[in-house]
Structure 1
Amino acid sequence: MIDPRERRALEELRRLDWAPTQDDVWSRLDFHIDGLNRDVGAAVVRAYETADASNGGCPVGLVVQGRHGAGKTHLIRWAREEVQLRGGYFFLMGIADGKTFWPNVVSALLRGLYRNGSYRHPQLAVLLERLAEIAGISNDLRLRVRGANRLTPEALDHFVSAFRRAAPEVGRECRHTLRALVMLASAEEEANDLAENWLTSAQEETSIGLERWGVPTTVKPPQQVAGEISRLVACTGAAMFAVDQIDPVFAQARTSVVDDGSGSAVSEPVALAADLGDGLMNMRDEMRRTVTVVACLPTSWTLIERNATASVGGRFRTETRLSRIPSAEIAVKLVSARFEPFFELADFEPPFPTWPVVPEAFRDAPGFTPRGLLQRVDRHVQACLKAGEVTLLTDLTEPDLPESTLPPPTDLTVLDDRFTQLRTEAVVDAALAPATEDREMSRLLVAGLQAWTIEQGDRRGRYSVQDGGDGRPSMHAWLLETLDEDTEDEAHWSFRGLSHRNAIAVQARLRRLLDFVNLDPAIPKRRAVLLRNPVWPSGEVSKRMKQEFLDRGGVLTTVSTDDLRTFTALATLLAEHDPALPDWLLAQRPAGNTALFSEVFGPPPDDAEARQPGPDASGGPAGSPVAAEPIGERVAEPATDAAPSLDLGTTAETGLPVRVPLESLRKHAVIFAGSGSGKTVLIRRLIEECALHGVSAIVLDPNNDLARLGDAWPEPPKRWRPGDAALATRYLAGTDVVVWTPRRTSGRPVSFQPLPDFSAVVDDPDEFGLALDTAVAALAPRARMAGNTAKADRGRAVLRQALDYFARTRNGSLSRFVDLLGGLPEGAASLGRARELAADMAETLRAAMVNDPMFGGDGETLDPAVLLTPAPGKRARISVVSLIGLPNDEHRQSFVNQLQMALFAWIKRHPAGDRPLGGLFVMDEAQTFVPSGPMTACTESTVALASQARKYGLGLIFATQAPKGIHNRITGNAATQFYGFLNSPVQIAAAREVAAAKGSAVLEISRLEAGQFYAVGEGTPFRKVAVPMCLSYHPASALSAEEVLARARA
């Protein structure tokens, strides 16, 4: 058994935090190892000293590059201390979005001014004290300017006048910004809020009360405000402006698509890199005596360098890169420094400073990043506690100790009683009072979130929680979930209480939250939850800001005193550090059962069994080299089994395999899932499983993430199951993957005639009528006859009659039909002035054929048989139709309509017969092609396929991020449905409504992990399924256009 003193020491070590947050940057640095990244630190200090020696200009900026866990945030924290010890100012910009770059800069400047760091007072007070010294004002006026005594408009006038006399140019050009900064430091809350709204360029919100303080009601653009704040700061000292946390922005945007159903707006990391890069380049011109330091992954800076329009090389120096731990000696110093304060708290004298890791074990430390090393050590500490026995770690590369199944060491009923007592005694009024909510609401929400992360079994650092900091916080609690350590992809939840009733105060705090979070419906990994119990202010500005918050994906809800009492009790329990607390939280889940967290994260599972933390994604220490684990083998199923079925993965609850008949795809499938859900992996795996059964597919690729269906993995992915390696080999050997690039002649161009083959259906009145409907639907928009006017009605009637005549007498290409339309024969149409209407439409269609080479068959005319017929020796063909050559939705919809009409005619001539499935057609981003709103050029043909294709054996798969964004006939005709992670409350509600039509309830859709889906099919129950990784190569980033074209040419 473990010695009680050793247990206490290990319990303290369990609190080790290896991932500093942005809020930690402002706290006192507990340790710093000089030998770790010494050269980079020296370069940062030299850059600041250059700014300090400047008369006004900005030195070349510095880029600190390093992989995840290399110490970028720690270095910025150290640099903040060094700058402030030298009398300078420090500012930190976190989540940055190029589209709102300068508002982000202003918000970062204001947040930095509210912070103390190494100063006794906030940097704003330090700045105003120094400006007052320049102005040479009296001590009484100085105290008013600093906010120590009451500020009056007259006192503000005297100070600004004195400063203008002392510094005429800056005082004249920056006088209004100077007034606002003094108001910001005032003890009068209304003056604070007015100033903040004005500084953040909130036009309408600042129009009331500003005249009293001599501030104009017309606001300045954010870039000018940032420049003027910088000029005022530069009068008193140099500054460092650090930019951190830009890597999650690129990771979050990499696959994020707006899920409002329109499909028209896509957040591209390339565009973000261009905007963000241009903003960073312009900072040197706008700021004064300021060195900009950017900390990011090498891949992020490369993206900026390649896409910023301004010259990067002349404004930033990029030779600095953080390295791994250089030596065993440095590793020992690092771990010793981190362990020492915890041993002191436990009053424990270890046999050696790195206990329970022997010093000799650090011989392998140079292969680790600092964070990777601390994570490895922490896992060993956790394992010792679980086992109830201390085992010395002698080799960092050896596998983790197996987890023990010993029962919890303490009777958990003791904590039950303690928790009940604390809830009964809790007083929570301060958290709901405007004067104290910043302190108390932050404290309680942080405690609740910390407990919630433990309830998720998170003892490996997947989640981190931070408070809003001092001063005027933008939020009260911030939860970060690490989704991918290599790319630093993260999901963020920001919580803020808002109990103020004054409209100006409400507006200022909501604007602060919006600027901090950068809510964007296209980036569902950023969430903001606003907690408000009072009625919302009734003014137009307040109502508009509330609607903006909701439209951008924010959640507005209330918080009960019952929940706050729970959080109060949890705050005390966390502070008491009872060793049994983690086990108790896992068993009882008090945080997860609160109404607030159940609403935001979904309710916890019904069972109270503790969820053990899963292994790291890498299966080894984060930040360390990882060897690929051997992949076991399972017998691959033959392609012609008695009842062919698709392997969907395993049930999340039991791990049992989930299979559905291959024939079930005749009744189609639809996938509702957002960015980061694993939707693309599911699509690919379904296509691959079909190919293994000899079923060919046509796949629309709007986002360049499906063209790799023929690429092999360079190394086995972690989410492969035993036997998947053999399946991948068989899939790649037997599948013919061809990439087509309509309108891109440098790839593999393809075009289709917009008219169906009428000869195949002319003898079937029903099918012929349907073919006429789809042809009219394709031609009417091009002939400018798609409106609701009387002329458009007549035009469509003439088109239909002309097509009927054409189909029965001539048939053929669009060009032949346009010729017939231009000289419409007598009797071909029964309407008056039909020939005049026909001639006008013929000219319009000819113009469309000239303007759009795809319309009318420019390029190789290709039969669907070519798309679906594999090359000799292959089992199946996958035709990936890349849409990179079709620049807008209208062109894409027209092309897809032509493709679907040709496919419809072909499948009718070549039905599946007694085969389970004759072919597969896959449409990602379905809301773009067949939306629930206005009809597109391909709505009719898509609905026709969904309604009729099943009887000919053609399977359809539709995928969308917007459950109510696609036509209800698509959803209604899909017997198999998948529901993956969604974040937007609107889309979650829509998914639940769609699922309800199947007699199912999607309860935890916002808490699903990547690769987890709720699935329901005909005759199969509604269940949570874990989908395996696809068999073909699927990295985090999509292909570029050139890479797609190269595959098409191959």
Structure 2
Amino acid sequence: MSDALEALRRAPGDFAVTPDDIWDDHARPHVPGINEIAMRAVEAQIDLAERSPKSSVYGLPLVGEGGRGKSHLLGQARIAVQEHGGFFVRLNILHFEQFWPNLVGSYLYALNMPHRKATTGLAHLIKSLGKQANVSEKVMRQILSDRQPDDESVSRYIEAVREMDPTLGGTRKTLRGLLLLHSRDEHAADLGEEYLTGGEVDVDPDLGITRSNPKPPKEVVRDLSHLMSRCGATVIAVDQVDDIVRASKTSSEQRHREGATQLLDMLGVNLVDVRDETRRTTVILACLESTWQEFERSTVATVTHRFEPVVPLDSELPSTDVAAALIAAILAPVYAEAGFEPPYPSYPFPERSLANAVTFSPRQLLRIVGAHLRSCVAAGAVTEIEYLEDLAPVNTSTRIIELPLVDLDSEFERFQTEVDLVKTTESSAEFHLLRPWLLAGLNAYRTESSRDPEQFKVIQSVGERQGFHVEVLDKSEPRTRRWSFRALATGNGNAVLSRVRGLYAWAKLGEADPIEDAHGILWVTAPEDSWRRWSSGSQVLELVDRFGRHGTEILASENDLKVFYALHRMETQRIPGYEDWLRRRRPASGTYLLRAVFGAPVDIPVRPAAPAAPQGTPIVQGTSETRTSTAGDPRFLTIPLQGGAHARATATGGSINVGAIGDGTTSRVGSIGNSAVGQVGMAEVLKYQLPAPKAPAIGRRLDGRPVYADLKAMAKHTGVFAGSGSGKTVLLRRIIESAALQGVSSIVLDPNNDLSRLGQRWPEPPEHWLDGDAAWAEQYGETVETVVWTPGRKKGRPLSFKPLPDFAAVLDDSDEFDIAVDTAVNSLVPRARIGRATPKDDYAKAVLKQALAAYARDGSSDFEGFLLFLEDLPDEASSIVKAPDIALRLASTLRAAVINDRVFGGSGPSLDPGVLLTPSEGKRARISVINFMGLPTEEQRQGFVNQLELALFSWAKRNPAIGGPLSCLLVLDEAQTLAPSSGTTICLASTLALASQ
């Protein structure tokens, strides 16, 4: 029976029908005899809607306890209505006050899902309407087959439809949105979706999009129903009502109870409105019997009068023959895939063992079937069951020896070495690679944590345009918890905009949802150099930032990708002993992604200690001391420590969770949630060789030991994070003064005008001075000079830099040259007004980049010369079509920027950064304080800092640190205004480039 055993290894662990199985044609087929009365009622209701072309019919309530087949019946309703050319819409309830926007989203979701008459419901609608309206073959090919609509083809299609049925004239804008939504081009599809969902739509003459107010969502639903009614009936399925009532009965929060009752009332009223606003439509409401009673109590009588009489579902299987047929139906695809021909269709459940099956519901029977199959696989032998209750250990005399754990470890390690990480950064990988990897990882996590599959459901998406890839529903608590995961492998602005918007809506982020505790997780595998590189104020950046405030954005680690790939391979190969190995090793539970989302189990195995650090390097060791942090950035952060250790942090809603990992320490990462409290592992530095006191201490530890500014450590950059009034600027002053006494000059940005007194002596020693500070102060006054510069002002000491860096300094290093070009382009993009996430701006940015690279190839850095180069761009300088025309417009815009912003134009002679850092004769160091009084706006300040950093980038290349760890310090006070953690600024790219040089 080894063939049978190998076949059963392929059987799913859970045979229950999930909500998304409703869309799957390959989900469990219908078995005649189960819920026949309800099935005939559904078919009759669809037929009634079919014969009502100008109005909708009453709704149909399907009532039964859990496991009676409600989801299965809805799946059969979808198949039935689609077979007749109609549509199936599953209402996704997000918020009771936004019923109609939710219904629009549900319609669009349904149109993007597979259809039995075409690849998607939208393709079927376009094809059917086009055929009825006799749309020309050329137009149909361009819109339907090539999926490349333009204004002309769309207008001709709409004209033909209006000529066929003049009453459809009012739907023309909605129809245009649908035709664009079907486009292969992301930009066109986004425009279509934005219009249909009531968003702000950019004018695009090429696609026929003009400035107009979007229709209210109720009118959009009316238009959609009118158009869809030309093809067939529509079924609107409502199956979330049980969750509403469950939340209202068990929640301890008054707002949830009141919200759920209000939702039932408003749902009933809105469902009545749906009947009035739609055509050829019926609502099927599937719920528990107690839920229907609650629905009747919460709504007025006129609502329930708009429904047909309740149709109860069968509480038990009707016969042993039907039970055997059900088992055969779920096992048939398993046996077919394995190429195994069973002795009888329901094997290993002979009909004689099913005598008492009539006492079970379909779900109860399938749970017993699944338990017996798992016991057979675990024992290594397939044994026929005698009675359905008989789940005693099977005969193990022919037990197959499973692989030892060490062999499974070897397989796991081998699979990890086979993964192609390059492919994970391609957008095509999101659905076909990363989605199944996520599914395998979450399935493994469920097994590792011994969660009940009935309560902890892992659901995979069906269509590529769904808002998520894998979803987890946890119904073990009174209020359902839902995590919607989506992989994102591209940094393209339009693609990111579409994907994040879909996940944001699907995960119900930003909604006060009384039904579910919903979370959205964006798992980013996009190349690092393309992620969050969008211009300040762009629509995509604003959306991603908004997502980050309500959801979780996690940058994928290489280790996680390898683990999920290996788990996917082991799951699909049904390796013997896999589930036991998961419970013992718990690889999924140890990934950064699932730790961040679900928290780290307390008994998770400790990772092996990192290699011993080199002698003289600080050793980081975790202690039991913890602190709560309230950082607000929900992205996944990697915080480098010393001695080979690092910390990782996540947060949502203002809570951050950090743990140090390395050198044998363990990490404790708290679960994410609005009320979550994170654990921050405090690092203790041991065996640290203190530097000689060449400068004053900058502070003291709690135990009284001094802390010094170690120049070698500061070469790795220093960050000071604290609240307002906590003493950040005072600490910066001590660091600057200590570095100066060690011969290191500084450039200090002084936005608040409180660092210009660095050169002034104290009239009397302050009370807070440390021991020895008086002597250090005397030495500081004699050997350090402070110079205050005033960019933007003619009086004082003016300062300006060139808009372009010194390319001649990096010509010999191709990587540094490319970085200099990219950084300069990023600084010019806002000035050239080409920072939006549109194809037009993308083309212009590409021309700007290619033109600058061509101009700077010989070391040229003169900005006026570059403008002249743009105005007469050589054909070979860019590969973009009409590049000379684009370049001419860019030059004009940049010239206007020079006139409007004297700082950008670099008024006055340009200064070499070395002047800021070279002390006068007899002095040890110079502190150049940049006073921003002459730069009143943030944009001017950021523009000046960008030019300063571009100049420093080239200067540092020409003047490497010799004889010491540092050439200078660049001090960015109030750095959040220059290089924010979210969003972008003119100087963000130059700051990052300088920091990584």
1:507 aligns with 2:497: yes
CA contact (8 A) 1:201 1:222 kept: yes
What is the CA–CA distance in structure 1 between the aligned matches of 2:220 and 2:423, rounded to whole Å?
35
Give the total of aligned pairs.
623
Q: 1:223 aligns with which of 209, 213, 218?
A: 218
* Structure-to-structure mapping, 1:1009-1020, within 5 angstroms: none
CA contact (8 A) 1:83 1:89 kept: yes
Task: Please report how far the alpha carbon of residue 989 of structure 1 lies from its aligned counterpart in structure 2 after TM superposition.
Answer: 4.7
Q: 2:462 aligns with which of 469, 472, 486?
A: 469
What is the CA–CA distance in structure 2 between the aligned matches of 1:326 and 1:440, rounded to whole Å?
43
Residue type of the alignment partner of 2:434? M
1:456 aligns with 2:454: no
1:199 aligns with 2:199: no
| Residue equivalent to 2:158 | 160
Residue type of the alignment partner of 1:319? V
Residue type of the alignment partner of 1:61? G
CA contact (8 A) 2:458 2:473 kept: yes
SS of the residue corresponding to residue 469 of structure 1 reads: coil
| Residue equivalent to 2:472 | 479
Task: Please report how far the alpha carbon of residue 243 of structure 1 lies from its aligned counterpart in structure 2 after TM superposition.
Answer: 2.1
Task: Please report how far the alpha carbon of residue 101 of structure 1 lies from its aligned counterpart in structure 2 after TM superposition.
Answer: 1.8
Cα separation, partners in 2 of 1:441 and 1:386, compared to 1, 3 Å:
closer
CA contact (8 A) 1:356 1:393 kept: yes
* Structure-to-structure mapping, 1:561-572, within 5 angstroms: 561-572=558-569
| Residue equivalent to 1:874 | none
| Residue equivalent to 1:929 | none
Q: 2:75 aligns with which of 63, 77, 86?
A: 77
Cα separation, partners in 2 of 1:1002 and 1:187, compared to 1, 3 Å:
closer
Task: Please report how far the alpha carbon of residue 7 of structure 1 lies from its aligned counterpart in structure 2 after TM superposition.
Answer: 3.1
| Residue equivalent to 2:228 | 233
SS of the residue corresponding to residue 322 of structure 2 reads: helix
1:586 aligns with 2:583: yes
CA contact (8 A) 2:93 2:99 kept: no
| Residue equivalent to 1:379 | 371
Residue type of the alignment partner of 1:492? R
CA contact (8 A) 1:107 1:516 kept: no
Q: 2:329 aligns with which of 310, 332, 337?
A: 337
Q: 1:130 aligns with which of 128, 131, 141?
A: 128
SS of the residue corresponding to residue 119 of structure 1 reads: coil
* Structure-to-structure mapping, 1:1015-1030, within 5 angstroms: none
CA contact (8 A) 1:454 1:586 kept: yes
Question: Any unmatched runs of 5+ in structure 1?
Answer: 610-671, 673-961, 965-982, 994-999, 1009-1013, 1015-1050
Task: Please report how far the alpha carbon of residue 8 of structure 1 lies from its aligned counterpart in structure 2 after TM superposition.
Answer: 2.5
| Residue equivalent to 1:319 | 310
Residue type of the alignment partner of 1:222? P
Task: Please report how far the alpha carbon of residue 377 of structure 1 lies from its aligned counterpart in structure 2 after TM superposition.
Answer: 2.1
Q: Deviations over 1:380-407 (max 9, x none)?
A: 2223443455554333345765999999
What is the CA–CA distance in structure 2 between the aligned matches of 1:191 and 1:389, rounded to whole Å?
57
SS of the residue corresponding to residue 525 of structure 1 reads: strand
Q: Which moved more, 1:427-436 or 1:128-137?
A: 427-436
CA contact (8 A) 1:375 1:460 kept: no
CA contact (8 A) 2:381 2:396 kept: no
Indicate the structure whose relative CO is greater, using CA pairs within 8 Å and at least 6 residues apart.
1
What is the CA–CA distance in structure 1 between the aligned matches of 2:297 and 2:506, rounded to whole Å?
27
Q: Deviations over 1:632-659 (max 9, x none)?
A: xxxxxxxxxxxxxxxxxxxxxxxxxxxx
| Residue equivalent to 2:484 | 494
What is the CA–CA distance in structure 2 between the aligned matches of 1:141 and 1:30, rounded to whole Å?
39
Q: Deviations over 1:172-204 (max 9, x none)?
A: 21110000000011122100011111111123x
What is the CA–CA distance in structure 1 between the aligned matches of 2:256 and 2:42, rounded to whole Å?
39
SS of the residue corresponding to residue 33 of structure 1 reads: coil
Task: Please report how far the alpha carbon of residue 33 of structure 1 lies from its aligned counterpart in structure 2 after TM superposition.
Answer: 1.1
SS of the residue corresponding to residue 316 of structure 1 reads: coil
Residue type of the alignment partner of 1:113? L
Task: Please report how far the alpha carbon of residue 153 of structure 1 lies from its aligned counterpart in structure 2 after TM superposition.
Answer: 1.2
Task: Please report how far the alpha carbon of residue 36 of structure 1 lies from its aligned counterpart in structure 2 after TM superposition.
Answer: 0.5
Residue type of the alignment partner of 2:595? S
* Structure-to-structure mapping, 1:417-432, within 5 angstroms: 417-432=410-425
Task: Please report how far the alpha carbon of residue 140 of structure 1 lies from its aligned counterpart in structure 2 after TM superposition.
Answer: 0.4
Q: Deviations over 1:989-1019 (max 9, x none)?
A: 59x99xxxxxx997555699xxxxx9xxxxx
What is the CA–CA distance in structure 2 between the aligned matches of 1:575 and 1:277, rounded to whole Å?
44
Q: Deviations over 1:898-952 (max 9, x none)?
A: xxxxxxxxxxxxxxxxxxxxxxxxxxxxxxxxxxxxxxxxxxxxxxxxxxxxxxx
* Structure-to-structure mapping, 1:158-197, within 5 angstroms: 158-170=156-168, 172-197=169-194
Cα separation, partners in 2 of 1:499 and 1:9, compared to 1, 3 Å:
closer
| Residue equivalent to 1:365 | 357
| Residue equivalent to 1:779 | none
1:415 aligns with 2:408: yes
Task: Please report how far the alpha carbon of residue 19 of structure 1 lies from its aligned counterpart in structure 2 after TM superposition.
Answer: 3.2
CA contact (8 A) 1:387 1:404 kept: yes
SS of the residue corresponding to residue 464 of structure 1 reads: strand
| Residue equivalent to 1:102 | 100
Q: Tell me the TM-score normalised to structure 1 length.
A: 0.55
Task: Please report how far the alpha carbon of residue 163 of structure 1 lies from its aligned counterpart in structure 2 after TM superposition.
Answer: 2.0
CA contact (8 A) 1:71 1:322 kept: yes
Cα separation, partners in 2 of 1:5 and 1:139, compared to 1, 3 Å:
closer
Task: Please report how far the alpha carbon of residue 211 of structure 1 lies from its aligned counterpart in structure 2 after TM superposition.
Answer: 7.9
Residue type of the alignment partner of 2:227? L
CA contact (8 A) 1:466 1:479 kept: yes
Residue type of the alignment partner of 1:360? R
Q: Which moved more, 1:422-431 or 1:271-280?
A: 422-431
SS of the residue corresponding to residue 443 of structure 1 reads: helix
| Residue equivalent to 2:426 | 433
Task: Please report how far the alpha carbon of residue 457 of structure 1 lies from its aligned counterpart in structure 2 after TM superposition.
Answer: 3.0
Cα separation, partners in 2 of 1:199 and 1:403, compared to 1, 3 Å:
farther
Task: Please report how far the alpha carbon of residue 287 of structure 1 lies from its aligned counterpart in structure 2 after TM superposition.
Answer: 1.3
Question: Any unmatched runs of 5+ in structure 2?
Answer: 607-627, 632-649, 660-665, 680-997
SS of the residue corresponding to residue 483 of structure 1 reads: coil
What is the CA–CA distance in structure 2 between the aligned matches of 1:24 and 1:45, rounded to whole Å?
16
Cα separation, partners in 2 of 1:219 and 1:499, compared to 1, 3 Å:
farther
CA contact (8 A) 1:96 1:246 kept: no
Q: Deviations over 1:680-700 (max 9, x none)?
A: xxxxxxxxxxxxxxxxxxxxx
Task: Please report how far the alpha carbon of residue 11 of structure 1 lies from its aligned counterpart in structure 2 after TM superposition.
Answer: 2.5
Q: Deviations over 1:529-573 (max 9, x none)?
A: 12235117432644554454345x421221123322322222222
| Residue equivalent to 1:886 | none
Task: Please report how far the alpha carbon of residue 453 of structure 1 lies from its aligned counterpart in structure 2 after TM superposition.
Answer: 1.9
Q: 1:575 aligns with which of 563, 566, 572?
A: 572
SS of the residue corresponding to residue 128 of structure 1 reads: helix
Residue type of the alignment partner of 1:8? E
Cα separation, partners in 2 of 1:250 and 1:342, compared to 1, 3 Å:
same
What is the CA–CA distance in structure 1 between the aligned matches of 2:421 and 2:460, rounded to whole Å?
18
* Structure-to-structure mapping, 1:529-928, within 5 angstroms: 529-532=521-524, 534-535=531-532, 537=534, 538-539=536-537, 541-542=539-540, 544-546=542-544, 548-551=546-549, 553-607=550-604
| Residue equivalent to 1:899 | none
What is the CA–CA distance in structure 2 between the aligned matches of 1:398 and 1:225, rounded to whole Å?
56
SS of the residue corresponding to residue 311 of structure 1 reads: helix
Q: Deviations over 1:755-801 (max 9, x none)?
A: xxxxxxxxxxxxxxxxxxxxxxxxxxxxxxxxxxxxxxxxxxxxxxx
Q: Deviations over 1:955-1013 (max 9, x none)?
A: xxxxxxx999xxxxxxxxxxxxxxxxxx99447659x99xxxxxx997555699xxxxx
Task: Please report how far the alpha carbon of residue 518 of structure 1 lies from its aligned counterpart in structure 2 after TM superposition.
Answer: 1.9
1:445 aligns with 2:438: yes
What is the CA–CA distance in structure 2 between the aligned matches of 1:401 and 1:18, rounded to whole Å?
24
* Structure-to-structure mapping, 1:378-397, within 5 angstroms: 378-388=370-380, 392-397=384-389
Task: Please report how far the alpha carbon of residue 491 of structure 1 lies from its aligned counterpart in structure 2 after TM superposition.
Answer: 2.3
> How large is the RMSD of aligned CA atoms in angstroms?
3.7
